Amino acid sequence: MKKFFAQAYIWFLLILLYAPLVFIGIFSFTESRVMGNWTGFSTKLYSNLFSGMMQGDSALMSAVKNTLLIALIAAAVSTLLGTIAAIGIFNLKGRRKATIQFLNNIPMINPDIITGVSLFLLFIFLGFSQGYTTVVLAHITFCTPYVVLNVMPKLAQMNPNTYEAALDLGATPGQALRKVMIPQLRPGMISGFILAFTMSLDDFAVTFFTRGTIGLDTLSTYIYTDARKGGLTPELRPLMTLIFATILILLVIINLRQARLAKKAANR
Amino acid sequence: MTDKDVIIRLENVSKSFGGKKVLDNISLDIKKGEFLTLLGPSGCGKTTTLRLISGFTTPDSGTVYMDGKDISGMPPYKRTLNTVFQRYALFPHLDVYDNIAFGLKLAKVPEKEIEQRVRKVLKMVSMTDYEDRDVESLSGGQQQRVAIARALVNQPKVLLLDEPLSALDHKMRQDMQIELKEMHQKLGITFIYVTHDQEEALTLSDTIVVMNEGKIQQIGTPADIYNEPVNSFVADFIGESNILNGTMIEDRKVNFIGHDFECVDEGFGTNNPVDVVIRPEDIYIMSHTEGAQFSGTVKSCTFKGVHYEMFVDSDSGYELMIQDYNAFEPGSKVGMLIKPSDIQVMRKERVCNTLEGVMTDENHVDLLGGEFECMPLAGAEAGDEVVAKVDFQDIELLDHQEEGTLAGEVYVILYKGDHYHLTVLTENGDHLYVDTQDIWDKGDLVGISIKPSAIKLSKRNDN
């Protein structure tokens, strides 16, 4: 009996969590403008979405492109910066190390809205004209600490002598970094990259405050504006479904890979 | 730099880390093709010396030469020597073959030659057929072999080994020692080996450099170092030994444990205090006392495999460690003999503590950062710099740090037959030498107190 309630509780929670996603998924296969009205099965919204993508003229499609491009640039740059920063922080000692690690953690717990407003004020103060560049810079800023956090444990696991061993065998510091350090840090860098990518992808507050007035839209700001105009564009439903499916598949792949690596390590 | 046999020369090298002197003016010549071991307790500066040679640190002052050229500031990747690291430091993302080929690939050696050289060196360390293995799937001993192969494949002129066997179990260690020795003989290159294990050093080396506290204590062959240690530190560190206080009566005659002994040492003056070292296997023990130089009672007897180890109280009140193939029952009366040539006489490094201090008022003096009460020194006023001499036995150690004028930590313990000679490290990192009957352990935290009458003051620079 006790077990039954425990099970029921878990399922109840899961249903609560996933019901909205499932709803969007189901209603992406019908044509009605208002969600909740089932007007028969149709893939018209999907074909609209893809034909819009082909023509490349719809505001929704340009928002999707902006989102992906910004996320890619921000994730790539913050992976680079974050890895370098992690190596530097790791080699600090004592109180300085603790202080910098603490300072690295603050932006992550800081509410987005505060990060957004303060960056907005900073860009105005510096006289930057806001637009694409400022959004990318802002995203790099809040993504980098996550990369640092993901790379640090890999540095701790690494035998510090391997870097010296590379130098000893004739590698210049640059070669030692490329051929010995980076390969050992790679798993941390990849998970840092993925985390940065997803953080950038779903950011609203920071983007909203740093995009300026040139009409730049990412997916989140587009949906926000669209919803205020009265009702969501129906094509958003298949788009959301596709994004969710992609992320689900990515997660499954990552988890399977980790399980395989763990098993391999356990077999040694 | 005319000496052609010297491959590496350290000249007046000093190095400090965070204000602490790790190497203090070291000079050392390393000959081509020799197996040289840097031996000492942890923190003695042996690893720093190795890192100066490999290029991972640079000296604060002094010069490192290789083949007559100054390499003090040369980065490690330009030096023609290779290192075997303590924890192997293999590259976990590469397999055995790629680990070993790493240096050759960087040097742009043709692919075919790389393959030949890797095969050859794998054969040498008996690791053929392992080339495709993941390095993390190998045992500790196998990883060590790969690390050695990775260094040797580059055909360095000098191979540096930083405690390479310390992570292996005892049996594996002995096997690897033999293999290393054979490799050294076959290759004919210079091996510089760092260890804290005196047995390993004695087994492997052509030359041993004993280090302590950033200074070289003694350089010599294993036999020299074992049979003729230059001071009590070396005697205590290498092998087992009885270290005793003695008095050199005259040339070839020394008094210790209450008896006069004939010895072979000369030039220590007359009636001078000395340290005497006798190895436990050099004391002859017999069940009768006639014909013996001195007698005593067996206190304990332990079987050690090849020999028995006995502790014997001499009738004159000293405890001696003796090793013999025959066992003598505890409680039995025995006679003992020591051959003149087995008595090693050493000059004492110091006969009392000599400290520099400042008078704070006429009855107090500041020594090593603590204010001690003292007898007034004629003509000395507050602020005067003085020299204080304190005998070893006049320093009192207390159970609790806060009870003493100074706090300290027991750092080195030397048993001298009837008392312990301790080195106590004070808070400021200074050394105090203490003779005591009490038993302390290394690392004990103690309070230090000195009676006013035991502090013998004199003015500084008043000669």
Question: Per residue in B225-269, pLDDT tens?
Answer: 998 888 888 988 888 889 999 999 989 999 999 899 999 988 888
How does DSSP assign A57-97, residue by residue?
-SHHHHHHHHHHHHHHHHHHHHHHHHHHHHHHHHT--HHHH
Same domain? For B265 and B402 the reply is: no
CB A87 within 8 A of CB A181: yes
Is the Cβ pair B91, A166 closer than 8 Å?
A: yes
Using the beta-carbon criterion (under 8 Å), do B77 and A172 form an inter-chain contact?
A: yes
Q: How far is CA A264 from CA A200, A237, A260, B240, B294, in A?
A: 33, 41, 6, 48, 68
Q: Which of A104, A83, A101, A84 is nearest to A189 (CA)?
A: A83
The answer to whether B92 contacts A184, with C-beta atoms less than 8 Å apart, is: yes
The answer to whether A166 contacts chain B (CB < 8 Å) is yes
Backbone angles phi, psi at A232, to 5 degrees: -80, 145
Question: pLDDT by residue (tens digit) across B14-54?
Answer: 999 887 889 999 999 999 999 999 999 888 899 999 999 99
**CB count in 10 Å sphere of residue A251:** 11
- Does residue B358 share a domain with residue B340? no
**Could you tell me if B376 and B458 lie in one domain?**
yes
* pLDDT tens digits along A92-101: 888 888 898 8
Residues B90 and B132 grouped into a single domain:
yes
- Angle, helices A182-201 vs A236-266, to 10°: value is 160
Residue B255, beta-bridge partner list:
B247, B260
Please say which residue of B186, B212, B232 terminates a domain.
B232
Partners of residue A172 in chain B, C-beta under 8 Å: 77
Whether B141 and B282 share a structural domain: no
* pLDDT surpassing 90 at residue A233: no
In this predicted structure, the answer to whether residue B426 has a pLDDT above a threshold of 90 is no
Burial of B345 (0-12, 13-18, 19+ CB in 10 A): buried
A&B contacts, CB < 8 Å = 64
ipTM of the complex: 0.75
Asked if residue B103 and residue B151 are part of one domain, the reply reads yes
> Percent of chain B beyond pLDDT 70?
99
Min Cα–Cα distance to chain B from A197, Å: 26
Specify the range with the lowest mean pLDDT, choosing from A61-65, B88-92, B221-225: A61-65
The answer to whether B85 and B162 have CB atoms below 8 angstroms apart is yes
Domain span at residue B59?
3-232
- Residues B329, B393, single domain; the answer is no
Backbone phi, psi, residue B343, to 5°:
-95, 120
Would you tell me the crossing angle of helices A59-90 and A132-157 to the nearest 10 degrees? 40
Angle (nearest 5°) at CA A127 between A124 and A128: 85
Can you give the pLDDT at residue B220? 93
Closest CA to B225 of B236, B235, B215, B233: B235
pLDDT at B1: 45
Token pair, residue B412, equals 């080195």
- CA distance linking residue B360 with residue B381, whole number of Å: 8
Check A168 against B102: CB less than 8 A apart: no
Tell which residue, B409, B392, B397, has the closest CA to residue B449.
B397
Residue A54: pLDDT band (50, 70, 90) is low
Q: Are A119 and A143 in contact (CB under 8 A)?
A: no
Q: What CATH number has the domain bearing residue B68?
A: 3.40.50.300
Chain A residues within an 8 Å CB radius of B77:
167-172
Instruction: Assign residue A217 a region (left: φ > 0; alpha: ψ between -120 and 50; beta: otherwise).
Output: beta
Rounded Cα–Cα distance for residues B393 and A69 (Å): 79
Given a cut of 60, whether residue A56 has pLDDT beyond it is no
Interchain pair B154, A268: CB under 8 A: no
Grade residue B330 by pLDDT with cuts at 50, 70 and 90.
very high
- Could you tell me if B278 and B414 lie in one domain? no
Give the pLDDT band of residue A266 (cuts 50, 70, 90). Answer: low
Instruction: Give the N- to C-terminal CA distance of chain A in Å, as an integer.
Output: 42
Q: How many other C-beta atoms are found inside a 10 Å radius of the C-beta of residue B178?
A: 11
- Ordered DSSP codes for B299-339: EEEEE-SSSEEEEEEETTS-EEEEEESS---TT-EEEEEE-
Q: Is the pLDDT of residue B430 over 70?
A: yes
B89 and A179 within 8 Å at the Cβ level: the answer is no
Q: Do A169 and B89 touch (CB under 8 A)?
A: no
Contact call for B90 and A162, based on CB within 8 A: yes
* Average confidence score pLDDT of chain A: 86
Instruction: Mark whether B209 and B336 lie in a shared domain.
Output: no
Q: A-chain residues within 8 Å CB-CB of B89? A: 159, 161-162, 164-165
Confidence class of residue B463 from pLDDT cuts 50, 70 and 90?
Answer: very low
Secondary structure of B62-117 in the HEC alphabet? EEEEECCEECCCCCHHHCCEEEEECCECCCCCCEHHHHHHHHHHHCCCCHHHHHHH
Residue with tokens 């003694």: B218
pLDDT band (50, 70, 90) for residue A265: low
Band (A256; pLDDT cuts 50, 70, 90): confident
- The structure tokens 């804290």 sit at B196
Chain B residues close to A179, C-beta within 8 Å: 102
pLDDT tens for A30-40 read 888 777 778 88
What does the pLDDT read at residue A53? 61
Per-residue model confidence (pLDDT) at position B227: 87
Q: Which of B313, B347, B381 is the last residue of a domain?
A: B347
CB contact under 8 A, A165 and B91: yes
Spatial neighbors of B69 by CB under 8 A, at least 6 apart, are none
* pLDDT value of position A52: 67
Q: What is the number of other CB atoms lying within 10 angstroms of the CB of residue A12?
A: 10
- What b/e string do you get for A124-156 counting C-beta neighbours within 10 Å, with b at 16 or more? eeeeeebbbebbbbbbbbbbbbbbbbbbbebbe
- Nearest Cα neighbor of B150 from B74, B80, B91 is B91
Do residues B120 and B10 share a domain? yes
Yes or no: say if B359 and B384 are a contact pair by the CB < 8 Å rule.
yes
B219: confidence class by pLDDT, cuts 50, 70, 90: very high
Question: Which has the higher per-residue pLDDT, B254 or A131?
Answer: B254
Among B55, B82, B93, select the one facing A169 at the smallest CB separation.
B82
Which DSSP string do the residues of B142-162 spell out, in sequence order? HHHHHHHHHHHTT--SEEEEE
User: Is B319 buried (19+), middle (13-18) or exposed (0-12) by CB count in 10 A?
Assistant: middle
Same domain, B222 and B288: no
- Count up the domains in chain B and report the number: 3
Reply yes or no on whether the pLDDT at A122 is more than 80. yes
The answer to whether the Cβ–Cβ distance between B91 and A180 falls below 8 Å is yes
Tell me the nearest-neighbour CA distance from B428 into chain A, angstroms.
21
Check residue A24 and give left, alpha or beta (phi > 0: left; psi -120 to 50: alpha): alpha
Q: Has residue A79 got a pLDDT over 90?
A: yes
* Interface contact A157, partner B, CB < 8 A: no
Hey, are the CB atoms on A164 and B89 less than 8 Å from each other? yes
Query: Which of A169, A172, A177, A178 is the best substitution to test chain B (most B C-beta atoms within 10 A)?
Result: A169
Residues on chain A touching B86 (C-beta within 8 angstroms): 161
* pLDDT > 90 in chain A, percent: 31
Q: State which of B347, B378, B397 marks the end of a domain.
A: B347
Helices A132-157, A94-109: axis angle to 10 degrees equals 140
Q: Enter the tokens of residue A178.
A: 């490329």
CATH of the domain at B261: 2.40.50.140
**Alpha carbon of B48: minimum distance to chain A alpha carbons (Å):** 14
Per-residue pLDDT at B462: 52
Sequence-distant (6+) residues with CB within 8 A of B201 are B37, B39, B193, B195, B208, B222, B238
| B338: β partners | B283
Amino acid B108: pLDDT: 92
Q: For residue A180, list chain B residues with Cβ-Cβ distance below 8 A.
A: 91
Considering CB atoms only, which of B54, B92, B93 is closest to A168? B54
Q: Report, as an integer, the average pLDDT of B176-187.
A: 90
Q: Are B148 and B176 in contact (CB under 8 A)?
A: no
Does residue B250 sit in the same domain as residue B219? no
Task: Outline where chain A has alpha helix (H).
Answer: 2-27, 44-55, 59-90, 94-109, 112-126, 132-157, 161-168, 173-176, 182-201, 205-210, 219-228, 236-266
